[in-house]
Amino acid sequence: MMQRMSQSEIIGGLVALLGEARVSTSAPDVIAMSADLWPKAQIWKMSGEVERHPPDCVVWPGTEAELSAVVAFCAEHGIPIVPYGGGSGVCGGTVPIHGGVVVDVKRMEGEVEIDRASLTVVAPAGINGQHLEDRLNANGLTLGHFPSSIMCSTLGGWLAARSAGQFSSCYGKIEDMVLSLRAVLPTGEIVDTEDRQSGDPDWTQVLVGSEGTLGLITSARLRVHPSAKHRWLRGFRFHHLHDGLEGMRQTMQAGLRPMVFRLYDPLDTFIAMNTGKSTDRGGLIDLLRSNSSSKEQGSGPATRLFQGLARAGMSGGLAVPAALNRFAQALPSNCKMVVGFEGPEEAVRIQSERAATILRREGGEDMGAGPGEHWLEHRYSVSFKQSRIYQAGAFVDTMEVSTTWDRLEALYEEVKKAVGPHAFIMAHFSHAYREGCSIYFTFAASRGAGDRAEAHYERIWQSALSAVHRAGASASHHHGVGLLKRDAMVEEHGNMLRVWRVLKDTLDPKGIMNPGKLFPDGAGGA
Ligand SMILES: Cc1cc2nc3c(=O)[nH]c(=O)nc-3n(C[C@H](O)[C@H](O)[C@H](O)COP(=O)(O)OP(=O)(O)OC[C@H]3O[C@@H](n4cnc5c(N)ncnc54)[C@H](O)[C@@H]3O)c2cc1C
């Protein structure tokens, strides 16, 4: 095995390529780049380990040629590279578990080139998501990609981790939007997947979702759309989850394409009704912190849930998740749905009328435009406020899984049953398709003392992922795999891992690109 260079030799080589100002070993840079927003990394930090896996250094190449030189240097000396976009990933994809060089691509912001006639845009991978959308909006266009993290994530990160936005049922996921991309391969070679004829294999999709393990994406050509002039938004209330899901399935299978389609389970609905926010917008945090906002009066299960939580405090309440989940089971079975369409006036009118007919037929009660408009207005008020939960001695995480309609309810029940003894759990259904749908679970648990937090975190995830596979579902819909789900991928990909091994060994013979991510080291080998 090749002897790794010393840290000072690595830095010397990189400074020669980029200059001193764009190579850093300063503590703030190294700490900031030693993890993304993976909750487990947050647990490390809360336990006093601010940088469990520090990189040797952080670099900011300014051009594709500079990036290529950095990668070639690292390949020659067997130095691991970890690509870094916005660092908003939640699966540990940017944690430098083997040290090496973190390559932050955000300095590589280049020109945004819009082709109005073809309705495409070419944009640099390091561009901030909201900045890209702003540029398109100024030209009367939209990408139609609105992840909740749009203000702190990049185009390259979206492509690398197969991101989905809030309007995915209408515009698709990022892999449906990308037409071609440019990348620096692990040898330093630059490739452009646009250089192909229509009948050739599509190399774009080899790099999409590869989470930096096969190369560094530097720019991409994407489909864009004229900005929508008309919108219709509604809330519907269903008395049972099953009826709401039937409404969603039938709407999608009728060929309708809602821009937003979300169904909250009874607990998530209850939290939204009592805090004004759903779990993805901090409602869980409000619920766990106080009962002062509760509109529930009397002695029903809802009041008892709030009062019990208020008495026990956040961490105390979460220390008995099974009891909390039992209380939640006794809540009313109502489920709130948010649905909306956008586009040309005539198309919006026809689609919304048809959808409303289907949803009413399945038992939905029209709540008017209010819930939909409220959702749209607050859709980015996501819980970056998670730190309040950590400070109170607890942690929270989310799991986005997907399956076909025939297995969806079984998946929901299986995961709740598996996680229920360990964490307070709820869910909403979003990213609906003709064939199936994604479920977004939120779970919160008490951290406990010392090492127990990490062990508890792992127990929850193992229970959850085993349940997902028992239900025949996929463990990742749009957050990527990173370190968190890489072992689960071995089961999901089975024999096809051999293809991955050939691909990885061919493109990255030194194994330097984001090692240990997506699949465990050596996966698919003999
Ligand atoms: C509050 C919050 C809300 C979120 N909501 C959503 C949501 O609605 N939808 C959604 O899809 N995700 C969501 N996420 C997750 C996260 O934003 C996505 O995974 C996003 O795609 C990550 O982009 P990033 O630029 O931050 O990538 P990073 O976190 O920097 O990196 C993600 C992975 O991609 C690799 N990578 C980054 N840039 C490149 C590149 N140029 N070339 C090759 N590999 C690269 C990294 O090595 C890493 O493996 C959310 C996260 C948070 C914290």
CA of 172 to the centre of ligand 1 (A): 17
Distances (CA, A) of 105 to 59, 76, 91, 133, 293: 9, 21, 19, 19, 43
| Atom 27 of ligand 1, nearest CA residue | 157
Count Cβ neighbours within 10 Å for each residue of 78-93 and write b for 16 or more, e otherwise.
Answer: ebbbbbbbbbbbbbbb
Q: Which helix (H) or strand (E) holds 342?
A: strand 335-343
Closest CA to 6 of 45, 65, 43, 56: 56
The separation between CA 442 and the C-alpha centre of its own chain, rounded to angstroms, equals 13
88 lines ligand 1 (CB under 6 A): yes
Give the tokens for residue 63. 């051009």
Give the residue ranges of DSSP H helices in 254-344.
266-275, 283-289, 301-318, 321-329
Q: Per this entry, what is the length of the chain?
A: 526
125 lines ligand 1 (CB under 6 A): yes
CA separation for the pair 416, 446 (Å, rounded):
17
CA separation for the pair 495, 210 (Å, rounded):
18
Q: Which helix (H) or strand (E) holds 409?
A: helix 405-419
Cβ contact 422:459 at 8 Å: yes
Closest CA to 175 of 217, 222, 219, 211: 222
The separation between CA 269 and the C-alpha centre of its own chain, rounded to angstroms, equals 22
162 lines ligand 1 (CB under 6 A): no
- The distance between the two most distant Cα atoms of the chain, rounded to a whole number of Å, is 71
209 lines ligand 1 (CB under 6 A): no
CA of 154 to the centre of ligand 1 (A): 7
Cβ contact 17:69 at 8 Å: yes
Query: By CB neighbour count within 10 A (0-12 exposed, 13-18 middle, 19+ buried), where does 292 fall?
Result: exposed
| Atom 16 of ligand 1, nearest CA residue | 89
219 lines ligand 1 (CB under 6 A): no
153 lines ligand 1 (CB under 6 A): yes
CA of 160 to the centre of ligand 1 (A): 8
Q: Going residue by residue through the chain (526 aa), what tens digit of pLDDT does each one get?
A: 456 799 999 999 999 999 999 999 999 999 999 999 999 999 998 888 888 999 999 999 999 999 999 999 999 999 999 999 999 999 999 999 999 999 999 998 689 999 999 999 999 999 999 999 999 999 999 999 999 999 999 999 999 999 999 999 999 999 999 999 999 999 999 999 997 767 778 899 999 999 999 999 999 999 999 999 999 999 999 999 999 999 999 999 999 999 999 999 999 998 877 766 666 656 666 666 654 444 444 555 566 666 666 666 666 777 788 888 888 888 889 999 999 999 999 999 999 999 999 999 999 999 999 999 999 998 888 766 667 778 778 888 999 999 999 999 999 999 999 999 999 999 999 999 999 999 999 999 987 766 788 999 999 999 999 999 999 999 999 999 999 999 999 999 999 999 999 999 999 999 999 999 999 999 998 7
